[in-house]
Amino acid sequence: MIKVGIVGGTGYTGVELLRLLATHPEVSLHAITSRSEAGIAVSELFPNLRGHVDLVFSIPDADQLAECDVVFFATPHTVAMALVPELIKRGTRVIDLSADFRLKDAKSWEHWYNTPHTCPEFLEQAVYGLPEVNREQIKTAQLVAVAGCYPTATQLGFLPLLENNIIDPQQLIADVKSGVSGAGRKASIGTLLTESSENMKAYAVAGHRHLPEIEQGLNLVSKQAVGLTFIPHLTPMIRGIHATLYGQLTSAVDLQALFEQRYADEPFVDVMPAGSQPETRSVRGSNTCRIAVHQPQGRNTVVVLAVIDNLVKGASGQAIQNMNIMFGFDEKLGINIIATMP
Amino acid sequence: MIKVGIVGGTGYTGVELLRLLATHPEVSLHAITSRSEAGIAVSELFPNLRGHVDLVFSIPDADQLAECDVVFFATPHTVAMALVPELIKRGTRVIDLSADFRLKDAKSWEHWYNTPHTCPEFLEQAVYGLPEVNREQIKTAQLVAVAGCYPTATQLGFLPLLENNIIDPQQLIADVKSGVSGAGRKASIGTLLTESSENMKAYAVAGHRHLPEIEQGLNLVSKQAVGLTFIPHLTPMIRGIHATLYGQLTSAVDLQALFEQRYADEPFVDVMPAGSQPETRSVRGSNTCRIAVHQPQGRNTVVVLAVIDNLVKGASGQAIQNMNIMFGFDEKLGINIIATMP
Amino acid sequence: MIKVGIVGGTGYTGVELLRLLATHPEVSLHAITSRSEAGIAVSELFPNLRGHVDLVFSIPDADQLAECDVVFFATPHTVAMALVPELIKRGTRVIDLSADFRLKDAKSWEHWYNTPHTCPEFLEQAVYGLPEVNREQIKTAQLVAVAGCYPTATQLGFLPLLENNIIDPQQLIADVKSGVSGAGRKASIGTLLTESSENMKAYAVAGHRHLPEIEQGLNLVSKQAVGLTFIPHLTPMIRGIHATLYGQLTSAVDLQALFEQRYADEPFVDVMPAGSQPETRSVRGSNTCRIAVHQPQGRNTVVVLAVIDNLVKGASGQAIQNMNIMFGFDEKLGINIIATMP
Amino acid sequence: MIKVGIVGGTGYTGVELLRLLATHPEVSLHAITSRSEAGIAVSELFPNLRGHVDLVFSIPDADQLAECDVVFFATPHTVAMALVPELIKRGTRVIDLSADFRLKDAKSWEHWYNTPHTCPEFLEQAVYGLPEVNREQIKTAQLVAVAGCYPTATQLGFLPLLENNIIDPQQLIADVKSGVSGAGRKASIGTLLTESSENMKAYAVAGHRHLPEIEQGLNLVSKQAVGLTFIPHLTPMIRGIHATLYGQLTSAVDLQALFEQRYADEPFVDVMPAGSQPETRSVRGSNTCRIAVHQPQGRNTVVVLAVIDNLVKGASGQAIQNMNIMFGFDEKLGINIIATMP
């Protein structure tokens, strides 16, 4: 039984952490903070938690948080970086769902996030929390930067191809589609039901913050700088990411076998049978990434289809998967959830 | 550990039973039948079950089913009545999610379902599976007729008022709204996304099959024949029932206290604080019924708002709640689920 | 050809006025104002208008507006009341889509809108813009207060019953369901797609601002104070209102004939054949109100189903219908639109 | 005023033709056929047409159809080919919305549609109904094969690039997303709201019937055989196609100017300002195709975003645009519609 704290519990990744941690058999919820909602019962803001979570939001307090074995940050960027050094110093491990520690290069981070990084010395020691790549390092990490939602789906889809050096790393295309919850729980006109249902559009075509994160990960496995065209789309649904990935094959291999072997031992990556087309709803609410690989018309273009729930495998579920690895629990503990269909 | 069979596993209540039973600690899934899909892996039809359920659909077979401690029927009406007598005779208990054994009066059943009832002698012994009313009888029942979706929400909302004789039983109005999954998993034009999204309509205004079921239940607690106007509406969402119930008060009471006391010990009925307006999504995927009671403008009309997930508390979750009671398990075992929000 | 101005063109009723007026053969768009968007092309904010409307938002200016034959106010309440006296004085007719002039009783208005009314002397002369009731007065009106969305559907549904004195005016129930566009185009968490899709809930159960407006209208035709229980619900769709209305019959009449006769000459009220159940999508984008009347099980409760598009017959379309009447145009001119299905 | 017939009026392209033709000032609707609904009023099946269309479905009859100046086929493939030779012979012009006459190569047609073509001699004379490419030929065509929905968006997006020979024709990628109405108005499980809302998936990855149609069109403008990877996706909305197109630039040009010049005189193609990201809802219900062109990060990959309403510019609107051209009407007559937002 470990003591867990959550900083920033009023967003979608926060309430999803609560849903999953409330029934995790090795977790005791110790504190959940929110400046704006301090004093309010969590279940008042999120009635689905009535009868399951009796915590009250509190003002973030370093002493209280330092009593925890691990603290999750489910906050906008720049919040974690202000508290993490103190917590790490006091021996509390940190799992950060925000982007603060995902990039290794402080200059790049400051360029894309357009604000100074206040503790760049932590960027190197932070472990990028994508278990399918960094499981060993995660075990002993003091600070984990959980992989983003698009980056998780996109990297899991490209990994087998780039690790085996069978596509041109200069011609990667990721056409990704996300449900609206990716935009977070904040008042805005663009994500009103009236504006975003019955509608499909691309956005951030000129450059999305997940681009450098994905390229950093793909560079590592490719051992060279990749060239990725990354086009995100807003899709009229609450949850789900569908990544459609395109690469130019440079050698002929059994793609199906390649993917099956790569993920044979991964508890949360499900390579579908040949010819399949995974649906986002098949992973809704679950921590699974479902993948299929195709080579249409036998031409040179390989097409990978990868789906995740952006709030689970793309955020809170993956954060708990990281926690399970860090504390030596069964990796599936508390997150071995079956998606709800329909 | 009990052996469980499911007849009719290809519909929405079937796959929902599978989702919930697959992780129930006292259940061993023994058989799941489907004439049309016999030989097909369950997880091929429902990819969300990949890695969780490895059963294959089989032809319904009385011998195999009779090996089970309990068999669920998740079938259209008239299927259960053909198999139930044999199973009961051989000592297998039955939980029927269909309408075959819900009405006590065979004539009424035949009128509303427009076909003969082939084993009317079982109508009397069948226990109506609404635990909040019939918990004691359910414990020893051989045959449980699980309450329908609209009937569950409507009865739970009216019960405290009628049991205490404080509204006119002749002037009950139930304006109920259901998600499209209530229509089942069958090809039809009316429930295509193109026809039923961005749309709201009433249906079956002249008479819905749940009307006699609800009236039968309300008659029992009112100790007289009630008069109910029951208007169902199709709502553009997958899951959820919202019942808005209207009654004419005949005496002044503390309505909030009345509801809180009535459901104080019920694990799956949550009376919201005064002034609340429950949302269907707060129970999505969970077995909870959330209720609020209002008396707008202090007038004579009492308004009860009750929400459930039609596939869980309105079908498969309630069926398992019945099973837990029948076999002496903790009533919440395996179904103490937190709704997913957003 | 008349000169038309629109104050407050950035909300949903504003853009809907533009869509409809842009092709109205007797209208010349003269000015459209918005403080926040002044200087921006209308078609930049609303790309659907590219190629159809080349106006630029301007700061509201009394002189420019007074050049118009008629000015529409598509504004939150309290905006119109600040400009209307000046415009009326200068001979410009006003069609107000907001609530500023809908109630005759200034005290009641101030109670429900919780702010002082700055020109109560205009309340009496303002004509309530529901053509099916006030067509004659509208013809010569200087100031029209367009009926609200719920009030339009609810009044059109109850009118034939109350005008003929065949239901108990003390026991009216209106269970109304609205699409999310009724909440307007403003940033808020509650109406995000993530919060309001896959969800159904009642709101404002304790008292909605449309209650006094509806009661005022029904009092007039009933010639007594009615008692209405009015329960609005938020429905996961963009457009549409479905009113389900309940009354207690006090005499036996041919309800179908009654409704057909009442609306025989109304260009925008379509009484459906007996037994029908109108769908909101059948009026989406159009100015029609479709109505059906039922008497389920032949009991005393009459049920009226009425559907409108809340932004057309419930707002901008009806505003133009009023304009057509005021200026002697064919009442259907420019708004004789066929709903888009699917 | 021309006499118009419609064969197959019960599908979505049929009702959309009716919506648009009912108010077309040069059209007199003469006949609408449906074997399954013969004798039923059109407005009974499609209540949105009540008060606007008083036709009754009739059995297809060559004599009645031959009285028309033009007959639209809004039918599944193989229906038009059975009637077209007779109608053409009798001097009636034909606009076929189905796929029967879209491919020039009968063998290819038979391969993709898996059935014999019964009048291959008409394939050559049929004019492919994409006005932006074939306007001159359409003017005098007896038989027009209206371009399909995906083919319209995809070709309009690639045309300026391929006509100017500035991308590698061997490396075209079209990642296209369609609303569910593309699947037509037919009972099926996969397109139920319960199955297709809150969901995103690719389909027909191995080969979609629109692939040869698109390649045929692109081959013509490229003057060589192109290589296209075409991946369609089902998107949880009723209407709309969003094509995201990728090409590898072979020379540096001003892409924005190129697109603006190509479509400067096209009434139904709107090239958005540089940096724009068109939304499908901005064309919902309208005949416009909105396009934007991007070169992310200044790399070699050009990205074109093109949106249409699949039932209007992708089917019935485009069919009427063809009709206007064939009969010398203003090309925008009757279809100069503003999209409804929200």
pLDDT in tens, B230-273: 999 999 999 999 999 999 999 999 999 999 999 999 999 999 99
Name the band, by pLDDT with cuts 50, 70 and 90, for residue A98: very high
Question: Helix, strand, coil: what percent of chain A each, to 5?
Answer: 35, 20, 40
What are D226-261's pLDDT values in tens digits?
999 999 999 999 999 999 999 999 999 999 999 999
The boundaries of every CATH 3.30.360.10 domain in chain D are 150-310
User: In this structure, how many other beta carbons lie within 10 angstroms of the beta carbon of residue C108?
Assistant: 16
pLDDT confidence of residue A198: 98
Could you tell me the pLDDT band of residue B206, with boundaries at 50, 70 and 90?
Answer: very high
* Rounded distance between C-alpha atoms, residue A204 and residue A200, angstroms: 14
Q: What is the number of other CB atoms lying within 10 angstroms of the CB of residue B116?
A: 11
Architecture of the CATH domain C150-310: 2-Layer Sandwich (3.30)
Note whether D74 and D100 are within 8 A (CB): no
- Cβ within 8 Å, pair A299-D227: yes
Given this model, what pLDDT does residue D197 score?
98
Q: Which chains touch B (3 or more CB pairs under 8 A)?
A: A, C, D
pTM: 0.98
pLDDT (tens digit per residue) in D172-196:
999 999 999 999 999 999 999 999 9
Report the residue from A177, A198, A231 with minimal CB separation from D200: A177
Q: How far apart are the first and last CA of chain C?
A: 34
Q: Can you tell me the mean pLDDT for D5-13?
A: 96
Average pLDDT of the residues of chain B: 97
A7's enclosing H/E stretch is strand A2-7
Residues 305-324 on C with a CB inside 8 Å of A are: none
For residues C246 and C259, give the distance between their C-alpha atoms in angstroms, rounded to a whole number.
15
Low-confidence ranges of chain C (pLDDT < 50): none
D291 to chain C, closest Cα gap in Å: 12
Query: How high is the pLDDT of residue A278?
Result: 98
Contact A12 C192 (CB under 8 A): no
Instruction: Tell me the fold of A2-125.
Output: Rossmann fold (3.40.50)
Name A75's bridge partners: none
User: Hey, which residues of C are catalytic here?
Assistant: 149
Mean pLDDT of A307-320: 98
Given a contact cutoff of 8 angstroms between Cβ atoms, the answer to whether D309 and D291 are in contact is no
Q: What is the ipTM of this complex?
A: 0.97
Per CB-CB distance under 8 Å, the chain C contacts of A187 are: 187-189, 192
pLDDT tens per residue, range B166-193: 999 999 999 999 999 999 999 999 999 9
Interchain CB distance below 8 Å, D47 and C19: no
Given this model, what pLDDT does residue C204 score? 98
- pLDDT, chain A, mean: 97
Question: Pick from B239, B257, B249: which is nearest to B153 by CA?
Answer: B239
Q: Do C238 and B198 touch (CB under 8 A)?
A: yes
Is the CA virtual torsion C12, C17, C22, C24 positive or negative?
positive
Tokens of A177: 């589609």
The amino acid sitting at C39 is: G
pLDDT, tens only, B37-63 = 999 999 999 999 999 999 999 999 999
Structure tokens at C302: 């009459």
- Residue of chain A whose Cα is closest to the Cα of B22: A338
Cβ-Cβ contacts under 8 Å, C236 against chain A: 193
- Alpha-carbon distance values, C124 to A228, C127, C145 (Å): 67, 8, 11
Phi, psi of D147, rounded to the nearest 5 degrees: -60, 145
Chain C: list its partners (3+ Cβ pairs within 8 Å).
A, B, D
Neighbouring C-beta atoms of residue D335, cutoff 10 Å: 26
- Position D180 scores a pLDDT of 98
Tell me the residues of chain A between 233 and 292 that have a Cβ less than 8 Å away from chain D: 233, 235-240, 242, 244, 246, 248, 275, 277-281, 284
Q: pLDDT tens digit string along B21-36?
A: 999 999 999 999 999 9
- Whether chain A has a CB inside 8 Å of the CB on D201: the answer is yes
| pLDDT tens, residue by residue, D21-39 | 999 999 999 999 999 999 9
Q: In what helix (H) or strand (E) does residue C242 lie, and over which residues does it extend?
A: strand C241-248
- Amino acid identity, position B188: S
CB B147 within 8 A of CB B155: yes
Are β-strands A228-234 and A172-178 bridged in parallel, bridged antiparallel, or unpaired? parallel
What pLDDT was estimated at residue B26? 98
Mean pLDDT within A70-90 = 97
Q: Do D193 and B188 touch (CB under 8 A)?
A: no
The nearest CA of chain C is from the CA of B88 a distance in Å of 37
How many B×C Cβ pairs under 8 Å?
A: 144
Average pLDDT over residues D118-133: 98
Residue in chain A lying closest to C191 (CA)? A192
Residue whose token pair is 């948080």: A65
Q: CB of D10 within 8 A of CB of D76?
A: no
Task: Give partners of A (≥3 CB pairs < 8 A).
Answer: B, C, D
CA distance to partner chain C, nearest, from residue A178 (Å): 12
Residue D202: what are its φ and ψ, rounded to 5°?
A: -85, 155
Tell me whether residue A68 is one of the annotated catalytic residues. Answer: no
**One-letter identity of residue A173:** I
The answer to whether D163 and D221 have CB atoms below 8 angstroms apart is yes
Q: For residue B160, what are its two tokens?
A: 């405290």
Residue with the two structure tokens 């645009």: D321
pLDDT at D130: 98
| Sequence-distant contacts of D112-118: CB under 8 A, at least 24 apart | D112/D207, D112/D209, D112/D212, D113/D77, D113/D78, D113/D209, D115/D77, D115/D78, D117/D81, D118/D78, D118/D81, D118/D82
**Two structure tokens written together for D288:** 């416009």
CA distance D37 to A74: 57
Q: At what angle do helices A149-163 and A255-262 cross, to 10 degrees?
A: 120
Q: What is the pLDDT of residue D278?
A: 98
- pLDDT confidence of residue B169: 98
Residue intervals of chain B classified under CATH 3.40.50.720 are 2-125
Instruction: Extract the tokens encoding D186.
Output: 């037919």
Q: Is C219 an 8 Å CB contact of chain B?
A: no
Identity of residue B70: V
Closest approach of D306 to chain C, Cα-based (Å): 14
Question: What are phi and psi for residue B225, nearest 5 degrees?
Answer: -80, 120
For residues B102 and B122, is the Cβ–Cβ distance under 8 A? no
Mean pLDDT of chain D: 97
Q: Name the band, by pLDDT with cuts 50, 70 and 90, for residue A103.
A: very high
Helix and strand counts by DSSP (H, E) for chain B: 12, 13
Radius of gyration of chain D measured on its C-alpha atoms: 19
Q: Which DSSP string corresponds to B62-81?
A: HHHHHTSSEEEE-S-TTSHH
SS3 C300: coil
Beta carbons of A194 and C191 less than 8 angstroms apart = yes
Within an 8 Å CB–CB cutoff, is residue D186 touching chain B?
yes
CA distance B212 to chain D (A): 27
